[in-house]
Structure 1
Amino acid sequence: MKQLDRIPVMRPWFGEAEAEAVRDAVLSGWVAQGPRVAAFEKALAGRLEARAGVALSNCTTALHLGLVLAGVGPGDEVVVPSLSFIATANVVRHQQAVPVFADVDLHTQNLTVETVERALTPRTRAVIAVHQAGTPLDLDPLSDLCRDRGLVLIEDAACAIGSQYRGRPVGSQARFAAFSFHPRKLLTTGEGGMLLTDDPELAARARRLREHGMDLSAAERHQGEELVLESYTEVGFNYRMTDVQAALGLVQLERLDAMVARRRELAARYQKALPGLLTAADTADGTTNYQSFWVLLPPDWPRSRNDMLRLLLEHGISGRRGIMAAHTEPAYAGHPHAPLPVTERLAADSLILPIYHELSEADQDRIIDVFTTGGRA
């Protein structure tokens, strides 16, 4: 595998097949939402054993449509982890609802039944639970809790394509599961997302909502042999994916198993080289795709997280801080929340090391050497 002078934290795995697929889409004359989007929806839902998929402009819009379809509105409360990309909390505010931050488990970085229960109130309407960095949630107990309390569970599976829970793909049994195809994810379309659902009627409504509430898509009108005039059944959004993006996605989907397998190899090498440190790992009931490989620095580590990132950068290695804590950002200044000690420790002391399909073992050894020798200097 090719060595790079500067090691990025993530690099998409593209080849000639992706370039040819995009070329074919462009030359077809149909580059907006069309037949390739429909094919990608069907292929991805089939691969993840879900009943229906709705391709969208990104994962944020997928989460937002999940809340819309769940009937979440002004004044409702939605339990979310603060330890997540800020979009997880933002979509709640987009519905004029109230995000209620819950703490997470130190080893998985995920919500648990116990942390969610502590955040529930009579105004709670839904829970957005994140499969953080690709590590699958312990879904069954959380699903039972939400069912017993009459709550809607929305899975933020932005990072979790290719991860499994109890032998099945993440998203396969969800009422709503939102995926991301951003370039830092395993499967990428540049930008893009998908909402999976177990209800075909909800999927049909989501397809209308993504296209301004229109009852017929542009592709359906184009293919019709008679004059057809569309109507707008409700106030919708412009959340469409393009056929160019879907063309990329169809090729990338064929690479998914290889991507996951390679990341698991690289993760095992990291874990062997970093004994005694808490890192990304499988759970008792699930296997992770290692979308990110995170490391938590112990309290006695001689350098701070930011100093470690600077050290890596000095050696031509791009690391990243660990998962952010939304409640510490200016956008949520003054937003009330219960104590979040685990979230704050993870946000302050974790970092992400490079992991991607074409990372060579020589480059990985270089990362490990800088991390271990510099960290203990």
Structure 2
Amino acid sequence: MINIFQPSLGEAELAAVAEVFATNWIGKGARVDGFETAFAQHIGVPRPLVTSFNSCTAATFTAVELAGIGPGDEVIIPTVCFVGVANAVAAAGARPVFCDVATRTLNPSVADLDAVRTERTRAVIVLHYGGHPGDIVAIADWCRDNGILLIEDAAIAIASRVDGRACGTFGDMAAWSFDHGKIVVTVDGGMLYVRDPELAERAPTLAYLGLEQSSGYDSALRQRTRWWDFEVSSFSGRSVTNDVLAAIGAVQLRRLPEFIARRREIAAHYDEALANVGGVACPPPLPAGHETSYYMYWIQFDGDIRDEIARDLYEEGIYTSFRYPPLHRVKAYGSDARLPCAEEAAERTLLLPIHQALTDAEVERVAETVRRRVQVRSAR
């Protein structure tokens, strides 16, 4: 089976893990600090503004808490988004309000946000679909002009930029993912960026049980306390990562340029191979100054053949999918919205395999199978 997403892990990652094992300290320590430092440099922000987590979802929940979002508040979310984002808002007692997206890019515009804004709108959480930045510059300006917080779901936008500026740094906060299917992998993990230094200072405390004093003999001596004493400032859970996973992440982050280069090649191959297939549309070209992470490659079909094509490909050993099913259709959120562009996209869009471990032969096999199966289905 050709996987849709797949990590690239090798000897360098194993060696980094072995080094951690040799220290006999596998918990949160120097490697975590080093990974956070490297990530802050990668997105171009001061080191104290980033905090690592055991998942992007945990980072998103923390962002909502830091933002003070709660009962009576509304948070606008593009309906084509990860379920964990809506869960974070709903769990805080706030109301997720879903907006439409463009059919071709699956990213929202300012007009989409403005269409559902009310006097209770407290924040916007926006996804960069497939790694494409979308209208993030205009959205950030709109949020500032209207006194609305902007949280970026940058889970799949680790290398995405606009005019050299990293996606995730346009808003007030942002979260990235390093789970097993992402580009940079730590098996499971996430990172949170918080623009406000005072709020950013609270993030590590919220990630570790609300403890005011971290454990450790040296820190206790500096504070003139016993190292086993502590105080609690919030009733928080525990969502920290550890040195084993951070060691993997540090190696993966150094390899990111080669990962993106290979994904760019694969996307270009698909663009060329599928350009003249009748009834198939490839992703739209990026605007000037935009850089994508190439996390997803999606095609869209004319007519009602997407599900059949997906089954055809699976039968030939090619795994495909659609992400993300529209959240306004999920009963738990209680939405009665009608969002026609997102609904159309959800019925026409299919994600093809794209990851740096794909061989040229596998990429051509995917493209050839799509061409052949579309011709057969369209002829019926």
Q: TM-score range by the shorter chain?
A: over 0.9
Distance in 1 (CA, whole Å) between partners of 2:217 and 2:115 is: 50
Distance in 2 (CA, whole Å) between partners of 1:347 and 1:20 is: 42
- Deviation per CA, 1:26-65: give whole Å up to 9, x if none: 2322212222111111110111112321101111111111
Distance in 2 (CA, whole Å) between partners of 1:83 and 1:143 is: 19
The letter of the residue matching 2:327 is A
Distance in 2 (CA, whole Å) between partners of 1:263 and 1:287 is: 12
Partner residue of 2:128?
A: 131
Q: CA deviation at 1:329?
A: 3.0
Distance in 2 (CA, whole Å) between partners of 1:188 and 1:331 is: 31
1:216-231 to 2 correspondences below 5 Å: 216-218=213-215, 220-221=216-217, 224-225=220-221, 227-228=226-227, 229-231=229-231
- Deviation per CA, 1:170-215: give whole Å up to 9, x if none: 1234320110011211001011000012233222101000101111
The letter of the residue matching 1:266 is I
Q: TM-score, normalization: structure 1?
A: 0.93
Partner residue of 2:146?
A: 149
Partner residue of 2:239?
A: 239
Change in Cα spacing, 1:73 to 1:221, as seen in structure 2 (3 Å) is farther
Matched positions, count: 366
Distance in 2 (CA, whole Å) between partners of 1:172 and 1:19 is: 32
The letter of the residue matching 2:299 is V
Partner residue of 2:335?
A: 336
Aligned 8 A contact 1:59 1:194 in 2: yes
Asked if 1:356 is matched to 2:351, the reply is: no
Query: Which deviates more from structure 2 when the two are superposed, residues 21-30 or residues 40-49?
Result: 21-30
Secondary structure at 2:250 match in 1: helix
Distance in 2 (CA, whole Å) between partners of 1:197 and 1:245 is: 22
Change in Cα spacing, 1:203 to 1:221, as seen in structure 2 (3 Å) is farther
Unaligned runs of 5+ in 2: none
- Deviation per CA, 1:74-110: give whole Å up to 9, x if none: 1210000111121121110111100000001123211
The letter of the residue matching 1:270 is Y
Q: TM-score, normalization: structure 2?
A: 0.92
The letter of the residue matching 2:283 is A
Aligned 8 A contact 1:53 1:203 in 2: yes
Q: CA deviation at 1:222?
A: 6.2
Change in Cα spacing, 1:221 to 1:319, as seen in structure 2 (3 Å) is farther
Asked if 1:171 is matched to 2:172, the reply is: no
Q: CA deviation at 1:142?
A: 0.9
Aligned 8 A contact 1:281 1:288 in 2: no
Aligned 8 A contact 2:140 2:170 in 1: no
Asked if 1:33 is matched to 2:37, the reply is: no
Aligned 8 A contact 1:79 1:127 in 2: yes
Q: CA deviation at 1:282?
A: 4.6
Partner residue of 1:86?
A: 83
**Which of 182, 186, 205 is the matching residue for 1:208?**
205
**Which of 99, 102, 107 is the matching residue for 2:104?**
107
Distance in 2 (CA, whole Å) between partners of 1:28 and 1:331 is: 46
Aligned 8 A contact 2:26 2:244 in 1: yes
Secondary structure at 1:55 match in 2: strand
Change in Cα spacing, 1:282 to 1:202, as seen in structure 2 (3 Å) is farther
**Which of 102, 105, 116 is the matching residue for 1:119?**
116
Q: CA RMSD in A?
A: 1.6
Aligned 8 A contact 1:323 1:346 in 2: no
Aligned 8 A contact 2:275 2:282 in 1: no
Asked if 1:283 is matched to 2:280, the reply is: no
Q: CA deviation at 1:221?
A: 4.7
Distance in 2 (CA, whole Å) between partners of 1:234 and 1:150 is: 27
Aligned 8 A contact 1:135 1:282 in 2: no
The letter of the residue matching 2:354 is I
Aligned 8 A contact 2:154 2:168 in 1: yes
1:188-203 to 2 correspondences below 5 Å: 188-203=185-200
Query: Which deviates more from structure 2 when the two are superposed, residues 154-163 or residues 99-108?
Result: 99-108
Partner residue of 2:12?
A: 17
**Which of 48, 62, 73 is the matching residue for 1:65?**
62
